Every structure is written in C-alpha cells, then in structure tokens.
Amino acid sequence: MRRRKKYDLYVVIFLAIFTIGYFIYNHTSSESRGVECYSAALEDYKAAEYEKAYQEFGRVPAGSTLKPPALFRQARCATNMGKKELAIKKYNRIVRSGSKSSIAPISEYNMACLMFDIQDKKAARHFKRIIKKYPSSDYAIASEYYLGLLDLSDTSKSKKRVEKSKERALIHFKTYLEKSPDGRFALRVIDEINKLSPKLNNYDNLLIAKAYYANGEFEKAKNILNKTTLAESWSDFAKNEYKLGNKEKGNYYAELGLKKHSANTAPEDVYEVVDNYIATFPSRKEGILKLTALGDVATGGDYIAYLNCSEVVENNVKEACFRTLYEKYPNGQFSADSLYNLFITKYLQKKYYDAQRLGFLHLKKFPNVKSAPAVTYFMGKIAFKLKHYESANSYYKQVISKYPDSYYAFRANYNLNKEDGFLPFLELNEKPIVFPYKKSLDNNLVVKLAYLKDYDLVEELCKKDKFIQSWIAYEKENYTISAVLARNAMEELTVKPPFEDFRWRLVYPTHYYDIVDKVKGDNNPIVLESILKEESHFNPYAASHVGAKGLMQLMPATYDEVVKKHNLPKNLNTETANITAGSLYYTGLKRLLGGKDVYAITAYNGGIGSVTNWFSKLTYNDTDEFIEQIPYPETKNYVKKVLRTYWVYGNVY
C-alpha cells in the first residue's frame, strides 16, 4: 500500500513537470511563430496586399501576445477590402476578450464606427460604453459626435420624441465643441448645429466662434462673435482680428477689454492678447509703455507690470520695479520671478546677507518654479563667499540632484570640481536612438510592435505619449519634429530620469555630429553641436524671421563673407558647407574674444559689437555675473540654453 502511494506521487510529479514544460514550450513556440507570422503579414499589409495579409495575420497563434494586434490588423484588412461585417467580427473578438491594453478602446471605437456605417443600432451602445469606460480619450470625444448623429437619424418617432432626440443631439454636439474645438469633426458639428436652427445663447455662440477660430475660419468666427456680448468675448474679438491682420481693430478690442472686461477673462487669454498687442508696435518697449498707460487691469495687470520691469536696464530702477510688483502681487503668477530678480539684484550688489534672506524665502515659498535652480545655485555662491564651504557644496549638489539638466547644474558641477577648463567634455561617444522605454508597456505589446516596426499601430496606441511619438517621427526621418516632441515631453516631467535613460537621446540626438567633428577645427565639437541644435533643431532648411538660414542659422551676408574668405561652396543649405561656415565663423568670434567659449556663444547670438560693449559697461567679477547681466533677454537665455545643451550632451554621451 505504501509502495502504491509512492508510485502515485511520482506520477503526479511527472504529470506536473510535463504540464509545466509543455506550457513553457507552447508559449515560447507561440511567441516565436507569432512574431514570424506577424512580421510577414505586416510586409504584405504595407504593400497593400490586404487579402494575403489577412490570411497571414490569421496564422498568429492564439497564445501569442501578438494575437490582439493581429486581429486588429485583420479588421483593417477587411475594412480596406470593403468587408465591414467581417471587420466588425474581428474588432468584437478583441472587445469581448476583455483586453486591458491600449488596443481595446481603439478597437471598440473602430467597431462602433463601422456599425454606424452599416446602420447597426448597436453602435450607440458601444459609443456610450466608450464614453463611460474611457472618458478622457479622444475616442470618447469623437463618440459624442456620432451619438449626436444617431439621435438625429431616427425620424420614425412621434413629433415630441423627435424634438427630444434633437435636444440630446445638440447636447452631444456642444460637448464635442467644449472638449475639442480644434477636433477633426468640429466643423461638421457646427454644420449639424446650424441644420437644427436652435435658439443659441451667448455661451453657445462663443463656443462655435472658438471652434471656427481653432480651425482657421476667422471670417466665420467674426460673424458668430458679432452675436455675442463684448464683455465675455472681447479677448476672442481681439485675437480673431489679429489673425485677420486687422491690427487697429485688434488693439481697439484689446484696450477696451483690458480696461473694462478683463476681470472675468481667463489669464491665458489675456496674456495672448497682450502679446499680440505688443507685437503691433515698432518696439516691445513702446507697446509695453502703451499698455502700462491703461492703468490698473483686473486680469493681466501683473503680466503687463512684469513685462515692463523686464525691459528696465538700470539695476536700481529694475529693483524698485520688481519690488513694487512683488508687493502688489505676492501670490501672482509672476511673483516667483519677481522675487528672484530682487534676489539676484542684491547678489550683484554684493549685499549677500540681504540676498540670502530673499533666497531662503524664495526656496521656501516657490520650491518648484523655473527660477528655483538659479536661486539654489546662487545660494551656494553666497555661502562660499561667506566662507560656509560645506553649505556651498550642499547647495551645488542639490542643484545637480534636483535639476540635473539645467544650466545651473552645469555651473554647479564646475564649482564643485574646479576643472582647469571651463568645459569638461571634449567629445561624444555616439549612441543609437532606440525605443524610449526599457520596461514593458501593455505587457510588452507596444514594445514588441515597435521592434516589429508597426509604427502606424504604435502611433495610434500611444497618441498621448510624446516620447513614443518622437521616436516614431525619428524612425520616419522627421528629425526636427522628433527633437521638439521629445524636448516638450521632457520639460513636462517633474522628476527627470537619469542620463542613461533612452529618452534623453531623443531630446538630444547627435544629428550631423560626424560633420561637426570633421570641420570643428580647434573648437569643441560638442559646443558646435549644441549651437546647431538650439539654432535650427536639425532642420537644414530652417529660416528665421530676420533672414538667418541653415543648420547654423547664419545671416546671408555673414555666410558670404566666410565663403569668400575661406573659398567654401556657396550653397547655403548644403549641410557640410553650412556647418563648416558656422564653425569658421565661431572660430573667428572666439579668437577675437580671448579664446573664451562663453563669450563666443554670446556673440554668436548677440553680435560681437554688443559683447565688447558689455565688457566695458557691465560690472562683473566672474562668468556668472556677466551672464546674469546680459541686457538682451534673448541673448541671455540663448547662452544658458546652449551651455545647458552642451552639459546634457556630455552626460548622455
């Protein structure tokens, strides 16, 4: 009996091991076969061989993680072949499977749209479910449009019920315009609303006008705005007139609205109107002075005052201006920057204890604003000047830890390590641009699709992930769009990832570095690459409003002068010629400015005449004090951006 039990135990163990082994083998086999079939089918799909692709996608095993996207692709194939009912069946298999991946909402939305096309009454149920289950998605917004159409489609009801359906449809259409005034269905929604001929109130008309504006229909927006009250829509009147090129009318609405109606206007709308208003004057200062003369403004007054203070050059006047601004708006949107300006003014005046008190207040009150890295860095410099060396190093380390990709992290690193040279990095080790995430997304589905080069599906599944959108743009060789998308995505992150993270390579790619390295001469190639990135974002056909062209954004006269002096090719948009000319021009600036990169970078943007003038007019003891006092805000920010880019390139590569 004991022997029998022992035998049964061996059988159970054997069966368990066999079952686990079979499962592992089957899963592994399913994955490898799935990849093979999906890859082959995708090639057929891209070649528009939809019948062949449909069959091949169908061979992806049920146990493969690629089965849901294979079903999705089958549905697309069926749609392209005009077989909508078959496509609906494939989408429905994904929906019924209860998949929690990002392929589920788009599948249900596509299925509902096809049901709508064939007049299947079940479409409404799916659109409503999408709104309930994925309320923040683009599919939920688009579902509002289709539900509105469905409410209008059934005319077999009683007159009373038809009117109720029209009311519901109008609600759906308004909801769409509220959530997506620039959406692809916005103009169609307005057409449907017009067909209903409803009684529209001021809010409704303003909603329609904003949608017209967002879609570039400025004349139509103007006609609808005329049906609204000026008190609520003055900023829209002003913005629309500016778009139509009617500067005088735009300024009229701007001044009227700022004086009388700004209290109930969103700050961002006021700021946009203010910026447009200033742009109509020959100089920024003239426009700002005109706005200042309007007197107190309920909303936007702090912005106007801030712009006015920013234009002041004299330190004493500037200090008084920002002090008044901070005291008047201690919790306003520009109070942190006002306090920073007071802080840096005291620092430059060598009133270190006063500056320190302001710095403590700033870091306590505004710990996560744009000026926080600068305040933290200069608190370190103050501590050093007061011979509190441990405290100084603590501040420097804090800058590097909390704001690793900032210009001030670069300067903090310099002060901590006391390098003999100003620039610690001399060359880059180029690394490939790869999919931006190491960890899996949607249980590895998106990652697998990315490596299978199903870019279109990845793009649809990850519409809100700017890093993935950036990577797809890179893979499609849209390098400028890729770099800008990645930059914006990184700026939105509160906590920055370590420099080993793949996403940094998208923000700071090494396009044209091979050319830069060949033509660098005696220049640091990373500095030249940083200038190239900030000047043109890798667009060889970039052209500025003042006429600068090419990767290095050289003015034609400057380029011609360099070409003639060094006998270079004359095609400005030839990458090698433009970079070569930029490098030679930079070399000349650097030679004239004592071989200092920081001054050459400043002159590249502000002009060598300005830099030599600042040498004589500014009072400064070190590089930091010089940069902080550059009177041109654009040039000051440019220097910081280039040096920040240089610093990040060095850390990433």
pLDDT in tens, 245-260: 999 999 999 999 999 9
H or E, element range at 571: none
Residue 168 clears pLDDT 80, i.e. is over it? yes
Coil, strand, or helix at residue 438? coil
Average pLDDT over residues 335-339: 96
pLDDT at 22: 41
pLDDT mean across residues, the chain: 92
Tokens of 584: 């030679």
Q: Are 91 and 70 in contact (CB under 8 A)?
A: no
Q: Are 176 and 141 in contact (CB under 8 A)?
A: yes
How many Å apart are CA 544 and CA 556, to the nearest integer? 12
What percent of the chain is modeled with pLDDT above 90? 83
In order of 191, 193, 203, 432, 626, the CA distances from 199 in angstroms are 15, 10, 11, 59, 63
Average pLDDT over residues 77-84: 97
Average pLDDT over residues 176-186: 97
Q: Which residues pair with 143 in a beta bridge?
A: none
Beta carbons within 10 angstroms of residue 405's beta carbon: 22
Nearest residue to 255 via CA among 240, 237, 243, 268: 237
Within 13 Å, how many C-alpha atoms sit on residue 582's CB side?
36
How many Å apart are CA 346 and CA 356, to the nearest integer? 9
**410-421 confidence digits (pLDDT tens):** 999 999 987 655
User: Which structural domains are found in the chain, ordered by start?
Assistant: 1-100+110-118 (1.25.40.10), 312-418 (1.25.40.10), 445-507 (no CATH), 513-652 (1.10.530.10)
How many Å apart are CA 138 and CA 514, to the nearest integer? 41
Q: Looking at 371-478, list the stretches that DSSP marks H as alpha helix, in order from N- to C-terminal side.
A: 372-385, 389-402, 407-417, 445-451, 455-461, 466-475
How many Å apart are CA 259 and CA 256, to the nearest integer? 5
Average pLDDT over residues 358-378: 96
In order of 45, 77, 282, the CA distances from 49 in angstroms are 6, 9, 59
Q: What is the greatest pairwise CA distance in the chain?
A: 106
Residue 14 clears pLDDT 60, i.e. is over it? no
CA end-to-end span of the chain: 71
**507-557 confidence digits (pLDDT tens):** 999 999 999 999 999 999 999 999 999 999 999 999 988 899 999 999 999
Lowest mean pLDDT among 145-154, 282-291, 572-581, 591-600: 572-581
Predicted model pTM: 0.87
Q: Which residues pair with 554 in a beta bridge?
A: 549
Q: Are 428 and 526 in contact (CB under 8 A)?
A: yes
Average pLDDT over residues 5-14: 55
Average pLDDT over residues 59-88: 96
What's the Rg (C-alpha) of the chain? 31
Average pLDDT over residues 419-438: 85
pLDDT at 13: 57
Tokens of 535: 């000047």
Which amino acid, one-letter code, is at 17? I
**pLDDT tier for residue 27 given thresholds of 50, 70 and 90:** very low
